[in-house]
């Protein structure tokens, strides 16, 4: 994009006393004519760029000029680099390296690429994320329907959706789009999505309902949980919901919170084993008791088989 290239050229000029048009053309992989037009655009934007002829000549910013910090501060550049490195964990590595190379310099950089913030958006699943995100991104740009096998609580299904955006939310990656089989907007978790293909079917983008603009924040917390936790798991509650999510009482940690997904809530509570007692709602306490009984029966049967 031209704006990205202009920002890159400006950054290079701030980092070098002089640089030639052929060097800029090679660095940004465009023609010398394009670099000339970019330099004209920067001049029109108020950046005083001068050209020196002859041996040792080149393009430079006029002596004594200082870039207004309101344009792009060091902290802002630092944030951009941290974000680029983060997306690089699930994107095409050579492309990310070229982008970083254009934003940063060597020893005389305005800002070092040794950014102290590390963002890893891939974790253990880097390989599958990189491939899936690349495929979905291409489908979105080409306006084509994607098809995939989806594994969830109710089993396995083959879905066809019109993809609109890939989202990193709730510590996981999702694709948000219009599901053709359900005729409604849905979010699909990438780790549950396999056999991904781009179909030959093109679609015209639909207008998204206003309440879906936040991709999930419209969901209501219909399950109002009240539970008593053992003080030994205080750090896990803080990790999940923050420092003020519980009240310390004589019997332990009194916890109240709202939830949307009953399946997710059940799995979360089961992870605490005997260190949690659900007080409300009653149906949830009964389901946990039934699940605990099933676990006990499974182990009892296992002991009988061994005997």
Q: How confident is the model at residue 127 (pLDDT cuts 50, 70, 90)?
A: low
Higher-scoring residue by pLDDT: 20, 12: 20
Domain ranges of the chain: 2-72, 125-212, 223-306
CATH topology match: 2-72 vs 125-212: no
Q: In terms of C-beta density within 10 A (0-12 exposed, 13-18 middle, 19 or more buried), how is residue 244 classed?
A: exposed
What mean pLDDT, rounded, does the chain reach?
Answer: 80
Q: What's the token pair of residue 116?
A: 């102290």
Which is more confidently placed, 94 or 189?
Answer: 189
Closest CA to 228 of 261, 195, 250: 250
> Region 227-244: what's the mean pLDDT?
92
Average pLDDT over residues 231-246: 90
From the number of C-beta atoms within 10 Å of its C-beta (0-12, 13-18, 19+), residue 278 rates as buried
Q: What is the CATH number of domain 2-72?
A: 1.10.10.10
Rounded Cα distance, 53 and 151, in Å: 65
Helix (H, G, I), strand (E, B) or coil at 167: strand
Q: Residue 108: what pLDDT?
A: 40
Does the pTM surpass 0.75? The reply is no
- Residue 304: predicted pLDDT: 64
CA distance 116 to 137: 29
Q: Looking at 69-222, list the stretches that DSSP marks H as alpha helix, in order from N- to C-terminal side.
A: 74-88, 93-103, 126-142
User: Which pLDDT score is estimated for 110?
Assistant: 43
User: For the segment 186-226, what is each residue's pLDDT rounded down to a tens digit?
Assistant: 989 898 999 999 999 999 999 877 666 555 554 556 789 99
pLDDT in tens, 51-75: 887 777 888 887 766 555 445 566 6
| Residue 285, pLDDT score | 95
Other Cβ atoms closer than 10 A to 113: 15
- The pLDDT of residue 252 is 95
Cα gap 14→273, rounded to integer Å: 59
Residue of 72, 64, 52 lying closest to 8 (CA atoms): 72
Encoded tokens for 140? 């979105």
Max Cα–Cα distance, the chain, nearest Å = 93
Least confident segment among 78-92, 162-176, 196-210, 272-286: 78-92
pLDDT at 88 over 60: yes
Fold classified for 125-212: SH3 type barrels. (2.30.30)
Average pLDDT rounded to a whole number, residues 6-25: 81
């Amino acid at each position: 994009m031209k704006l990205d290239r202009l920002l890159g050229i400006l950054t290079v000029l701030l980092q070098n006393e002089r640089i030639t048009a052929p060097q800029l053309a090679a660095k940004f992989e465009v023609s010398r004519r394009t670099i000339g037009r970019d330099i004209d655009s920067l001049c029109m934007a108020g950046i005083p760029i001068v050209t020196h002829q002859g041996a040792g000549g080149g393009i430079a910013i006029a002596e004594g000029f200082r870039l207004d910090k309101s344009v792009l501060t060091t902290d802002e550049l630092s944030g951009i680099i941290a974000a680029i490195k983060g997306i690089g964990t699930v994107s095409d590595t050579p492309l990310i390296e070229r982008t970083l190379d254009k934003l940063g310099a060597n020893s005389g950089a305005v800002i070092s690429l040794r950014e102290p913030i590390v963002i890893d958006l891939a974790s253990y699943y880097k390989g599958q994320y990189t491939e899936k995100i690349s495929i979905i991104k291409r489908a979105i740009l080409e306006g084509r329907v994607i098809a995939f096998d989806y594994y969830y609580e109710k089993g396995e299904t083959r879905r066809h959706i019109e993809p609109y955006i890939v989202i990193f939310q709730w510590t996981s990656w999702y694709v948000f789009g219009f599901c053709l089989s359900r005729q409604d907007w849905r979010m699909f978790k990438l780790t549950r999505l396999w056999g991904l293909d781009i179909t030959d079917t093109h679609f015209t983008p639909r207008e998204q309902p206003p309440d879906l603009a936040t991709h999930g924040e419209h969901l209501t917390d219909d399950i109002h949980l009240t539970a008593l936790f053992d003080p030994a798991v205080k750090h896990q509650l803080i990790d999940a919901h923050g420092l003020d999510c519980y009240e310390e009482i004589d019997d332990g940690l009194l916890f109240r919170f709202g939830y949307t997904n009953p399946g997710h809530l059940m799995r979360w509570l089961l992870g605490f084993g005997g260190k949690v007692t659900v007080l409300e709602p009653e149906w949830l306490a009964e389901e946990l008791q039934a699940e605990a009984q099933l676990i006990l029966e499974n182990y009892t049967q296992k002991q009988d088989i061994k005997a």
